[in-house]
Structures are given as structure tokens and as C-alpha cells.
Amino acid sequence: MGESGSHSLERVPGALDDVVVVDFTRVLAGPLATMLLADYGATVIKIERPGGGDDTRSWGPPHDEAGDATYFQAVNRNKRSLALDLGRDDDLELARDLAAGADVVVENFRPGVMSRFALDHPSLAAANPPLVYCSITGFGRGEGARMPAYDLLLQALGGLMSITGEADSEPQKVGVALVDVIAGLFATTGILAALRHRDATGEGQLVEVDLLSSLLAALVNQASGYTAGGSVPRRMGNAHPSIAPYELLATASGDLVVAVGNDRQFGALCQVLECPEVASDPRFATNDVRVRNRDELRSLLEGRLAAAPASDWLGPLLEAGVPAGEVNDIAGAFALAERLGLDPIVELDDDERTVRLPRNPVRLSDTPARHDAPPPRIGELAPEEALDLVARARSRGRPDHHR
């Protein structure tokens, strides 16, 4: 069902095959960023505290057949785990040695923690000027430094919950830790941009990402509606603030998602529902008036859709070019991707287990993402092996100004 691999030191060549990442992150945003770098070929050494390791190793259920927390597995493939107690002088010295040989350091501790260990950007950059250092925080390093950065809290404080849920319901969180995911993706793009600059100039830099700013940027049209238009968005359930019909509609049996993005599609929808006159009705003829009259339109459409179950409407709507579908659960979503030939699941093997995880969605024609190794066991990497990994990766090549 995909690719398999092991923790062998032999790597599939990738776009970041000569990049060494020392990963001081835990939970979600930071580990997602470092996993993506690992997928693209980077050598990622994950630093974990002895014993418990990353917090998410204990976040379950669910667990897989081997008893491992699936939360941890989601964002830690292709890495190696080194257990270090930064409160011990010898472990701290090893961490600094690894950072001195790294291309990238990523951390998401509370502001000030890395400074206490002299693992902050100024300390490490002094010994390793080409270093790209990425720091992920919840609310920045100013007045928000002391604020706890849990995704639920970010969704609330950052406005996402205020636009999620039905208009007459309580605010709702999104069903996944979306703010962490968004911040991890922004961190990855920042790191890659900094590496591009480093390779061109020999100069490293500090990359800072905070979860609140990441969420505000990811609110896109909802944010610009406020910043550029002065409109504060509100909860609208499954409806869209700027497009109609673009929501979940009831049928004789089951709900149907209809996502009409232009007047042509609306005309096709009306043809399928055998009410072509609605497409030219002054209340509904263009998108802007449909948005203003969305309640009337919804009532009219659901009246027509009540003639048949959702499954009966799908074929004619799709054939007419109307974006429509039913609501899948997670199993149904993966089954759809399988049917479409997208190969959404990869199997990662080592000597003890097979872990099935979602595939990296980016397809690169010449340097494909690798899915070589399942998430590591705590402390599987010996200190001398970690140093050797850094040396091996660095030997695979650097621009002249890094030698």
C-alpha cells in the first residue's frame, strides 16, 4: 500500500539530503515542521527527555496494535530519537555539539527556556553562523510570552471559534488542532526560505513563528473582511459569507454539500432540480443577490431536494458540473482517496512493527518525499551515533562558503 523502509543510515536522496536538523520540539506544531523537513530528506535528530519523551507519546487513546499513541506517530516519522537531560552537563554539552554541526535548529519551548541552556539563537549562531534557527511560540516573545499556548485556547482567542458553529449555537472549535498545523506549515516555509538565503549568501538567520499570528494570517478572507472592509465575521454554520448556495442542504434522506461558485453552476443546479426559472429570478440571478437572499434560496432548494435522497442527486449534479457531495467520515475520506488513485496511506516498517500513516501530500518529480521510517522509539539513538549522523549528512555536500 505504499512505501516501506527502516532506520538504516542509507537514505533515499531528497531535496534536503545534506541538511541536518536538531529538533528540540514537542507536541504538534514543531514536530510537524521537522517531519516535513525529514520527508524531504533532512537528517532529523529529535531530542527527547529520558523516560517520557515527547508529551504526545502518552496522549491516548487511540493507540495502535503495538500500544503506541497514534497522536505521536502523526508527526514524527523519518526521525531519530536521542534522549538527553538538558539539566546534566554532559547531555547539555552534547546538545550544543550537535547544534554546532547542524544546518537547522527548531524549538518550541516557552520563551526563555533555551536561553537558560545557552541553546538560544544568539548563543548557537555565535558558534555556527550559517545556522537557521526556528523558534515557535504561542503568542510571541513580548507580553504574550507567559501565556499558555494550547490549540483550543488559540482557537478561542484568535477568533476561529467565533466563526465556527451554527449562528444560534455556542462557539465551536475545529475538530483538529488546526492552529498548530497551520503554524507548523508556516514554520516549514520560513525554514526553507532561510535555507535558500543561507545557500546563496552563507548567512544563517532567526525564523520566528507564533501561533496567534499564524491563525490570523490563515483566516484569509474572513480576516481581510475585517482588516480591509471593517466587517466582523459571525458564525454561519456551514454557509459561506460571500457565496451562495455554498452549504449543507437537506434532502429526502441525508444531507448534500452544494458548493456553487459562479452563475453558470447555479444555472446548472436549477436545471437538475427542474426549476430553471429560479436562475433568472431577480432575487437569485447573481451571486451578490443570492447572498442577500440566502434564507429564501435555501428554503426553495431544500424544497426541491426533498423529492429524492442525497445519493440520487449526486450523479446528475456532478454530470451537470455542479460541485456536490455527501459528508464522509474519516474512513470514507481515505476510501475516496484510494478510489481516486491518490495512495493516501503509506506503510512504514522496522524490525518490530508496521505503522500506517497518511502520505506526505506533496509530489516532487525528481526528489520525492520519503516515507522510510516509522516514528522512533525514545532514545534509540546513541550519542556517538547522533554525532556520526551529523558528520555523514554534512559530508554529502555544502556550498563552498560552508566548508
**pLDDT of 345-374, one tens digit each?**
999 998 788 999 999 999 999 999 999 999
Q: Which residues of 7-23 are buried (b: 16+ CB within 10 A; e: fewer)?
A: beeebeebbbbbbbbbb
- pLDDT at position 397 is 55
In tens, the pLDDT along 20-78 reads 999 999 999 999 999 999 999 999 999 999 999 999 999 999 999 888 999 999 999 99
Percent of the chain with pLDDT over 90: 90
Rounded Cα–Cα distance for residues 273 and 185 (Å) = 41
- Kindly list the structural domains of the chain, giving each domain's residue range(s) and its CATH number in brackets, ordered by start: 20-220+353-402 (3.40.50.10540), 255-325 (3.30.1540.10)
Put residue 48 in one of left, alpha, beta given phi > 0 → left and psi -120 to 50 → alpha. beta
What pLDDT, on the 0 to 100 scale, is given for residue 4? Answer: 41
Residue (of 146, 158, 174) closest to 211 by Cα position = 158
Sign of CA dihedral 164, 166, 172, 175: negative
pLDDT over threshold 70, residue 332:
yes
Is the confidence at residue 393, as pLDDT, over 80?
no
248-294 pLDDT per residue, tens: 999 999 999 999 999 999 999 999 999 999 999 999 999 999 999 99
Residue range 200-218: average pLDDT?
Answer: 98
The residue type found at 387 is L
Mean residue pLDDT of the chain comes to: 93
151, 180, 210, 350: the active-site residue: 180
Query: Using CA atoms, how far apart are residues 392 and 206, in angstroms rounded to an integer?
Result: 25
* 126 neighbors 196 (Cβ within 8 angstroms): no
For residues 238 and 231, the answer to whether their CB atoms sit within 8 Å is no
How far CA 55 is from CA of 27, 50, 187, 235, 284, in Å, comes to 6, 12, 20, 33, 52
Q: DSSP readout, 233-250? A: ----TT--SS-SSEEEEE
**Per mean pLDDT, which range of 96-100, 270-274, 394-398 is the poorest?**
394-398
Task: Please confirm, yes or no, whether 55 is among the known catalytic residues.
Answer: no
Q: What are the contacts of 89-95 at 24+ separation with CB within 8 A?
A: 92/117, 92/119, 94/383, 94/386, 94/387, 95/22, 95/47, 95/119
